[in-house]
Copies of this chain bind each other. A is one copy, B any other.
């Protein structure tokens, strides 16, 4: 992951509603949720939610797919994993064998 992507992911998550959305999607798991249901779950205005989903989507943290007139959102675990690897790159002088494998198991999740 490049720095630019990491920055957009981190600043996307550094926002209360977007963090709530992300964690909600983490909780519901691989099936994701449609925008309307997320709005209901988080009691948010549809346009605000849409804007925030767009930010998360541009950051690659969630992916969307149309389902009739609904749009379903899912968390993108690969992006999280890349972000962690970026943050921990060259940890302790570049011995990747110490740190990076710690995140490999994320691949198995979701």
> Which A residues are within 8 Å of any B CB, using their own CB?
3, 6-7, 10-16, 19, 22-23, 26-30, 80, 84, 86-94, 98-99, 101-106, 108-110
Query: In the complex, which residues of chain B have a beta carbon less than 8 angstroms from the beta carbon of A108?
Result: 98
A19 CA to B1 CA, complexed, in Å: 14
Mostly, the A contact residues are helix
- CB pair B92–A30 under 8 Å, yes or no, is yes
Choose among B28, B92, B106 the residue that contacts A29 (Cβ–Cβ < 8 A).
Answer: B92
Known: A23-B90, A27-B91. 19 other contacts (CB 8 A): A6-B19, A7-B15, A7-B19, A10-B10, A10-B14, A11-B14, A11-B15, A12-B14, A14-B14, A26-B87, A26-B91, A27-B94, A28-B93, A29-B91, A80-B87, A91-B110, A92-B110, A98-B108, A102-B104
